[in-house]
Every structure is written in C-alpha cells, then in structure tokens.
Amino acid sequence: MAGFRRRALGRRARGTGNLHVVSLFLGGAADREVVEVVRRTAVVLVAGALVLLAGCNGDGKSGGSAGGSRSTAAAPATVHLSLADGSADVPPITPLGVSVSGGTLDDVTVVDGAGKQVQGAVADQPSPSPAPSSSAQNVPGATTRVWTPAEPLAYATKYTVTATAHNSARKQAKARATFTTVTPKAQTTPGVGPLDGTTVGVGIPIRVYFDHPVAEANRAEVERHLRVTTSTPTDGVWSWLAADEVHFRPSTYWPAGSDVRLDAELFGIDLGNGVWGKGNRTVSFHVGPKHVSVADAAAHTLQVYDGDRLIQTFPMSAGSNDNPTRNGDHVVLESFRKIVMDSSTFGLAVDAPGGYRADVEYAVRISNNGEFVHAAPWSVGQQGISNVSHGCINLSTENGNWFFNWAQPGDIVTVTNSVGPTLSAQDGDIYDWAIPWDQWRAGSALK
C-alpha cells in the first residue's frame, strides 16, 4: 500500500459562526493532492461565510438594519426679515414683514434704542406685500406675516426687530435686524376745509393746504393717503391747484343730505425735499339742502332755488362795466351781519375816483376778490334795471336780510351774462366749479 489516507475533517466550532479547518497528517503525492483540494475548498467556504456575515451585521450605511429603517432628520426652519440689518432712513410706517419657511412663526419683538419694547401685533400679510430688502428676500413657499405697532414708530429713532420660529422638531430659528427711521428736515400737518362737524352747502370742495410745497414726484403718494368716504357714492377726484394746495370735488355738486369724511393719513409720508407728514387728521361734515341761486347780470335778477324749486326772484344790480362781476359758479364762504367795505383792500384808494368806504349790512361773501351778495339801499333805484356796483350783487335791505338768513357756507351763486371774465385763480381759493371736469381730473397726480 502506498500508505493509508484519513478523511479530511471539517467542522464548525460549537457556539460560533467561524469555520475551523483541521490539519491533516497524510503521506504520499495522492494524499497531497487531496489535501490541496480540501484547502482550496475551505478558503472558498471561509470567504463566502465572511460575505454572509458582513451582509447580516451591517454598518448603518446600507439604509437598514435588523432592527428596522432609520428615521429622516427634520428640515430646519428659516426666518427672513423684510428689512436688512443696518437699514437707515426708513419711513416710520414701513411694514415689518417676516417670512418663515420650513416652520412656524413663534414671536416678533421690536425694541427701541433704549431697549424698551414697542407694543404691536402680527397679522397676515396685507396687499401689496412689503418689499424685501436685497439681503432678506422672500423664499418660495414661505409664509409671510407683518408686524404692526400699536402706536406709530417715531422719526429719527433706532429699533431692533427679532423674529423666532421653530421646525417640526421644535428646533428654533431666529432673525434679527436693527434699523433707523428717517430724520425729517421739516414736518407738516395740513390745514383742511371745511371744518370738522359743520353743515355745508352742496358746492363746498374739500381743500387741503400744506405749509410746504409738495414735490411733484410725491403728490401721487400724498393723494393715496387722502381718503374720502361718502354716505352717497360720488365720482370725486383730487386736483392740485398749486404745489401746496389740493382740492377734492365730484363732477357735479355733492348730493344733498350726504355725510362726507376725510382721513388725511399723512404721518410718515414723504412730501419731498426733506418734508414729512407730522400727523394725521380726520374731518367729517354734513351736506345740507341744495341751495343754488342764479344771478343774471343781463336780466338784473337773482333767482333763488330750493333744490329744483324756484322760491324767490329778486331785482339786483351787478358789477358795472368798469368793475364787472365774474361769471361762473361762486361758492358762499362766510356771512357778516355788518361789515366795513373798503376799496383799499383791493388796491383802490378810498379817496381815488371810484374809491369807497361804507358800512354794509347782510353781507354774504361769494369769492375772495371782494364779491358779496349784500344789502345796498343806495342802489335800489338801479336794482332790476342796470349794473352799477363794484362787482357785488346789490339787493334791497329787506331782500338782503332774507338772503343772509337763507345762505349757508358751500351754497352756490352762479353768475351769468356778465361782461366780466370767468372766475379764476386770481379771484381767490375756491373757483373749483369754473374748471371743466376733464381739466379737473387732469389735475390729479393719480393717472
């Protein structure tokens, strides 16, 4: 015999997953061949076992484990402010917008330079939305809200706004910006007519007067903050009669019995040239009955209408050819039981030819160029016949008394057929109805 051969014995050790190869003690070439085959087979078996073990154990990078799938981390929340940190010359009414993506807004606080908190509230974004600064852009899909102060922010003041939010894992995000409001060179609160709480006639326009001229480029924004509301809808429009004066009227007279309200919300509004609105004003007035009178200089009559009904026809004397009464719709401005009329007030000396100084009763002013409807007992002989006044409408004392008690500020006195020109800017501040409607609308800065 070439010798005896033992069988290769391979077995797994109890309690382990490792394969042990037992050494063989063999003799002869054939036996050596057998041993080599067994050795190679064992290597393959060991390598396969290692692969299987690696696949079962895992290292956390294969996306799974014996215990189940791994959870995904929550995306972070982000907060963006509409004002960039360090913003300067900010109008105090600028909306403070806060955009949150990937989370929910928790709180917005604003403090002044001394650290005092400014009371305010967060609300849904108004329309149009506040424009973000270059360093705080709105994020697609973000939710934007606006913080509004309980009281307006002040001029020339530093503020810090802080906004916080959280994501679905309750992890907090924060954004903060410090800004300074604009420092005006001058501030203005406009004068307004008619006065609050008054009752006026159907012809009164709303007039707003500024202490400083409003720059042409800023007039549209000023108009947007002069809000007129009426109990009876009208087609009223603002028209700039001068750089420091803007009026509002409908295409025809106000509807009788209407209630009108002006909200001049000009605080924080830039009027140009360093001038800013100082405060807001609200004026409300009631439109009384429709009183329109027609003074026909050719017929020498004053016809008085209550609504559409003619109730009086008075003989009158209008301005002479040398001092004619202006044509057009005049607005009653004020009334005087007694007044001294003096020609020197419009440049004609009392002792000059045509000059005068007289005590006058029942005088109703219809323009600021010296035109009145008043009692003139000295011209009763010419009333109804010729025009001899210095531009006023002359009535008898009795008729003047009646008209004085009838007239209210804002009533209309329409002068027709006078040899004089039409009422214009040279005749005072209310010549509004002499301006054609298309021309009036063209005077608005809101095209």
Q: Which residues are catalytic?
A: 374, 392
Backbone dihedral angles phi then psi of residue 276, each to the nearest 5 degrees? -130, 155
37: left (phi over 0), alpha (psi -120 to 50) or beta: alpha
Judge whether 358 and 290 are in contact, CB under 8 Å: no
**Beta bridge partner(s), residue 291:** 306
Per the listing, tokens 């605080």 go with 267
DSSP 93: T
**Which ranges in 208-348 belong to alpha helices (H)?**
219-224
Q: How far, CA to CA in Å, does 256 sit from each of 203, 219, 298, 405, 433? A: 10, 30, 30, 19, 17
Contact 81, 96 (CB under 8 A): yes
Nearest residue to 392 via CA among 409, 378, 410, 402: 378
- φ and ψ at residue 293, rounded to 5 degrees: -120, 145
Indicate the DSSP class of residue 317.
Answer: B
